[in-house]
């Protein structure tokens, strides 16, 4: 039986503009699904139906239909405050905190005409690549509720995959959009550093964290990316995009171009720990490369030079980023989860000269990566190294082991943030399931040149046209 969530976000947007459904009617459809399915999936930690209904009425009466997300339901990531809404940052330290001000990203989504239903689950301060905090139920993978949805934008991905939202914003500081998108069979886009005015990354330590879309299709991701790129005036003159570039949605719809692809399985973590590629991840990569070659794209092998210092320097910056978490007293520190407490302790003990050394080293690494990739248009890697991880797989009591496990699951994501490059994850298919274990999503990652989002979206659109199959979990 057809239901509204079976439409893509772009199709829903078209129905809204054609008057086939109103923002309030579309919202009610999703609120009903949230009420029915969210308790099992754990995608949303805050649901505010009445506030969302008031917002939908406001959109209908006061927001111009030309707004790029007019009437589409979304949810704020739990790390992004909205005035008047509980914002816990995934931590018991802020269990009952009500935000007094809205983040710039929230204001941009409102200006774009979106209707927020609440907040999506995230791990404590977004520091982990899985979403199993102590303040809320885990974000479960809709394809197998015994497995995690990934992180840190795990709630956003679980919500989109389960049909609780048509599209959702996430944020990515080391893979936090791409990891859950891959785990949940979705499209996840990490923009270039400096691409989005409300989340350029230029004001973040090492320029790691940027917002971006999680969606079911490449065009849906482009729709949200355009909204984030155009919602406010650009304040950094040297980074402003050219007005001749046109909307990203055009690249995602046209799907034009032939590209030289570099296929890579090495990672800068190889010298730091043992990185294995599960058969399912390797099979997805090989299948995708075969299909992309059949589309006429050039394919060659590419690898990164050995970087034994990458692991220590990235860890230094990650720890330093945790040092500012507002936990000072013993009672406050005791509320933090073991991994967070470990990062905070290590970050606050770092000598300034070591942090400066790591920042300088990572800047040089960025240049080496871009130079190494300059012979190809797009680099193709597995999205993750294993199937989606079972709930409880990560060691909660041993922070060193926990960090290593995260690296082993996601060896190809963090270096893209360090390099400031755009990257897109695409679902390839499901593993072979049986009655005891359902099929699980596996995907690939496409890494573009600086500012190369349009090429990634065009290549992704070609992939979707060739495959003509979308993944759907049992709740669909």
| Listed range (370-374, 401-405, 432-436, 471-475) with the worst mean pLDDT | 432-436
Residues above pLDDT 70, as percent of the chain: 96
Residue with tokens 């709930």, as numbered in its chain: 391
The answer to whether the beta carbons of residues 138 and 159 sit under 8 Å apart is no
Residues above pLDDT 90, as percent of the chain: 90
DSSP-derived secondary structure for 112-123: TT-EEEEEE---
Residues 6 or more apart whose CB falls under 8 angstroms from that of 265 comprise: 277, 282, 285, 303, 381, 382
- The residues annotated as belonging to the active site are 77, 152, 176
The verdict on whether omega for the bond into residue 128 sits within 30 degrees of 0, i.e. cis, is no
How many CB atoms are located within 10 Å of the residue 132 CB? 26
The pLDDT value recorded for residue 469 is: 77
- Rounded CA-CA distance 302/315 in Å is 25
The pLDDT value recorded for residue 203 is: 85
The answer to whether the beta carbons of residues 107 and 99 sit under 8 Å apart is no
Mean pLDDT of the chain: 95
pLDDT in tens, 325-343: 999 999 999 999 999 999 9
Identify which has the larger pLDDT, 233 or 119. 119
Angle at alpha carbon of residue 60, lines to 58 and 66, rounded to 5°: 110
| Listed range (229-233, 318-322, 377-381, 422-426) with the worst mean pLDDT | 229-233
First to last CA, the chain: 11
pLDDT in tens, 186-236: 999 999 999 998 888 888 999 999 999 999 999 999 999 999 998 666 665
pLDDT in tens, 16-64: 999 999 999 999 999 999 999 999 999 999 999 999 999 999 999 999 9
The pLDDT value recorded for residue 237 is: 46
The pTM of the full predicted model, rounded to 2 decimals, is 0.97
pLDDT in tens, 245-268: 679 999 999 999 999 999 999 999
pLDDT at 238 over 60: no
Domains of the chain: 4-467 (3.90.1300.10)
The pLDDT value recorded for residue 243 is: 56
User: Encoding tokens for residue 349?
Assistant: 């003990």
- Rounded CA-CA distance 153/176 in Å is 6
- The dihedral of CA 35, 130, 170, 451: what is its sign? negative
pLDDT in tens, 419-474: 999 999 999 999 986 656 679 999 999 999 999 999 999 999 999 999 887 888 98
User: Encoding tokens for residue 105?
Assistant: 């990203």
Q: Are strands 423-430 and 187-190 parallel, antiparallel or unpaired?
A: antiparallel
- Rounded CA-CA distance 127/146 in Å is 22
User: Which residues are registered as beta bridge partners of 298?
Assistant: 260
Exposed / middle / buried, residue 257 (Cβ in 10 Å: 0-12, 13-18, 19+)? middle
What are the backbone angles phi and psi of residue 126, rounded to the nearest 5°?
70, 25
- Rounded CA-CA distance 155/28 in Å is 20
The pLDDT value recorded for residue 230 is: 82
pLDDT at 155 over 80: yes
pLDDT at 94 over 90: yes
Can you list the alpha helix ranges (DSSP code H) found in 115-247? Answer: 154-161, 178-183, 218-230
Helices then strands (H, E): number in the chain? Answer: 16, 13
The answer to whether the beta carbons of residues 188 and 178 sit under 8 Å apart is yes
Query: In Å, what is the CA distance from 104 to each residue of 96, 108, 199, 473?
Result: 22, 6, 8, 33
- Per-residue buried b or exposed e for 306-325, using 16+ beta carbons within 10 Å of the residue's own CB: ebebbbebbbbbbbbbbbeb
The answer to whether the beta carbons of residues 85 and 118 sit under 8 Å apart is yes
| Mean pLDDT along residues 98-103 | 97
pLDDT in tens, 283-312: 999 999 999 999 999 999 999 999 999 999
């Amino acid at each position: 039986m057809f239901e509204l969530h079976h439409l893509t976000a772009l199709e829903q947007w078209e129905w809204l503009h054609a008057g086939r459904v109103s923002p309030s009617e579309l919202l009610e459809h999703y609120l009903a699904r949230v009420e029915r399915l969210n308790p099992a999936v754990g995608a949303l930690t805050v649901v505010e139906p009445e506030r969302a209904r008031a917002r939908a009425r406001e959109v209908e009466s006061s927001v111009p239909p030309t707004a790029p997300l007019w009437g589409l339901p979304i949810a704020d990531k739990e790390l992004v405050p909205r005035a008047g809404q509980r914002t816990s940052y995934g931590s018991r330290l802020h269990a009952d905190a009500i935000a007094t001000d809205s983040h710039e990203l929230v204001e941009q989504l409102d200006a774009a005409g979106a209707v927020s239903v609440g907040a999506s689950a995230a791990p404590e301060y977004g520091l982990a690549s899985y979403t199993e905090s102590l303040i809320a139920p885990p974000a479960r993978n809709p394809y197998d509720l015994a497995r995690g949805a990934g992180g840190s934008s795990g709630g956003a991905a679980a919500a989109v995959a389960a049909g609780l939202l048509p599209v959702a914003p996430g944020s990515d500081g080391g893979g936090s959009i791409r990891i859950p998108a891959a785990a949940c069979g979705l499209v996840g886009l990490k923009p270039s550093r400096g691409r989005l005015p409300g989340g350029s990354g230029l004001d973040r330590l090492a320029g790691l964290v940027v917002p971006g879309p999680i969606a079911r299709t490449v065009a849906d991701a482009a729709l949200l990316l355009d909204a984030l790129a155009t919602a406010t005036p650009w304040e950094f003159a040297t980074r402003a995009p050219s007005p001749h570039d046109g909307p990203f949605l055009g690249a995602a719809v046209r799907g034009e171009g032939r590209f030289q692809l570099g296929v890579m399985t090495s990672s800068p973590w190889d010298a730091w720990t043992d990185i294995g590629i599960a058969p399912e991840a390797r099979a997805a990569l090989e299948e995708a490369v075969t299909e992309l070659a059949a589309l006429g794209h050039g394919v060659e092998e590419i690898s990164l030079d050995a970087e034994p210092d990458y692991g220590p320097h990235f860890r230094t910056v990650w720890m330093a980023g945790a040092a500012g978490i507002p936990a000072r007293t013993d009672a406050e520190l005791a509320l933090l989860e073991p991994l967070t407490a470990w990062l905070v302790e290590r970050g606050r003990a770092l000598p300034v000269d070591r942090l400066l050394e790591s920042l300088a080293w990572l800047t040089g690494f960025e240049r080496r990566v871009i130079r190494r990739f300059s012979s190809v248009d797009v680099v193709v890697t597995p999205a993750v190294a294993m199937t989606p991880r079972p709930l409880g797989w990560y060691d909660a009591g041993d922070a060193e082991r926990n960090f290593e496990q995260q690296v082993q699951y996601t060896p190809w994501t963090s270096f893209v943030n360090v390099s400031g490059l755009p990257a897109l994850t695409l679902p390839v298919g499901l593993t072979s399931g049986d009655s005891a274990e359902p099929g699980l999503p596996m995907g690939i990652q496409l890494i573009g040149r600086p500012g190369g989002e349009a090429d990634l979206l065009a290549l992704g659109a070609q992939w979707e046209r060739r495959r003509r199959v979308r993944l759907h979990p049992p709740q669909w």
